Structure 1
Amino acid sequence: MMNMSLTVILRTLLYASLAFMVYDFVKIQQQFELMKRGYLDGFSVYISKLPGQLFIVITIILLLMNVIQLVVVKKNKQAKIKDYILPEYDVSDERSIEVTGKAVRISFVFILFYSFFILGSYMFIPNYFLDYIWYPMFSTASIPIVGLIIYLISFRVIYSR
């Protein structure tokens, strides 16, 4: 259970750091576009290294967790290697298979509804994309983040029953 929480937190941080990395790039593109249209005469640029470094560190940690989990599953003689799905998936617990399936279905349904409303909200701000460039960037990044959080919550609620 702790392994699952750690994995979900790491994946959430991975999506957030990727969104911040892309935001820096898109912000510079926005400034060039505003300068091309005559709204700006010039601008200064500051790009933080932290989101990129965080992205690389989290990716390495997730890869290491996957390799370690694969080795642990391979050593377990009762578990089949094809049962390995994710680092948070516990192949030694029979109940975890059913709980994982239910939690994935719940989070998938939530992602479908959430993404429908998030993407639908874009039609209210098309003229403001140059001014509010952060909105589509971070709202799109929030879709998998919210899905992972719903997955974690639903797994814990179903598993505790």
Structure 2
Amino acid sequence: MKNICISVTLRIVLFIALAIMVFDFLQVEQKFIQMDRGYIEGFTVQVNTWPGALMIAVLILFIIANLIHFLRMRKNNNTDIRDFITFEYDSTDERAVANTRKAISYAFSGILIYSFFMIGSFMFIPNYFLDYIWYPIFAVASIPISGLIIYAISFTVLQRA
């Protein structure tokens, strides 16, 4: 259970860090478009390095977690390739494999439903690029995050049942 919490949390933070990094870039792009259309006369740009540093730090943590898992699995001589791919569960446990299959199908269904509503919500904000630049970025980033949360919750519930 601990591994799934670590794995899902790192993946969610990775998506959030990527969205923050893209948002920082698109703010400058938004100012150029506003200046080109005559909404503003000029603007100043302050380059923030922390979104990129956050993205790299989370990516390094994710790689370290996978390396630790890889080194643990390598000690066992009768490991399968599936053991190296994800560190959420033990692939030798048939119950965990079946629960993962169910949790992934629940997460996929959740992603489809959530995507439908997120894409549909774009029509309520017609000028989102100029006025609400944060909305499409974080709405799109929330789609895989919702799937990861549904996966973690359903896997945890299925393992405890």
Q: Say whether the fold is shared (TM-score over 0.5).
A: yes
The aligned counterpart of 1:56 is 56
Counterpart for residue 159 of structure 1: 159
- For structure 1, the residue ranges without an aligned partner over 5 or more in a row are none
Counterparts of 1:127 and 1:6 in 2: how far apart (Å)? 38
Task: Write out per-residue CA displacement over residues 67-124 of structure 1, whole angstroms, 9 at most, x where no aligned residue.
Answer: 2222322322343124433121322433111111111110010001101110121122
Q: Distance in 1 between matches of 2:82 and 2:5?
A: 23
Could you say what the CA RMSD is over the residues aligned between the two structures, in angstroms? Answer: 1.5
Contact 2:13 2:58 (C-alpha < 8 Å) held by counterparts: yes
SS of match in other structure, 1:130: helix
**2:131 partner SS:** coil
Aligned equivalents of 1:28, 1:131: Cα separation in 2: 13
Cα drift, residue 126 of structure 1 = 2.4
Name whichever of 14-23 and 59-68 sits farther off.
59-68
C-alpha distance in 2, partners of 1:2/1:83? 16
1:150 maps to a residue whose letter is I
Which aligned pairs between 1:74-113 and structure 2 lie closer than 5 A?
A: 74-113=74-113
CA distance in 1, matches of 2:82, 2:121: 40
Matched with 2:14 is 14
Moved over 4 A (4+): none
* Alpha-carbon contact 2:83-2:90 (below 8 Å) kept: no
SS of aligned partner of 1:38: coil
TM-score, normalising length: structure 1: 0.92
Partner residue of 1:148?
148
The answer to whether the Cα contact below 8 Å between 2:17 and 2:55 also exists between their aligned partners in 1 is yes
The amino acid that maps onto 2:52 is G
Show the counterpart of 1:2: 2
Q: How far apart are the structure 2 equivalents of 1:113 and 1:48? A: 35
Q: Distance in 2 between matches of 1:156 and 1:82?
A: 20
Aligned length: 161
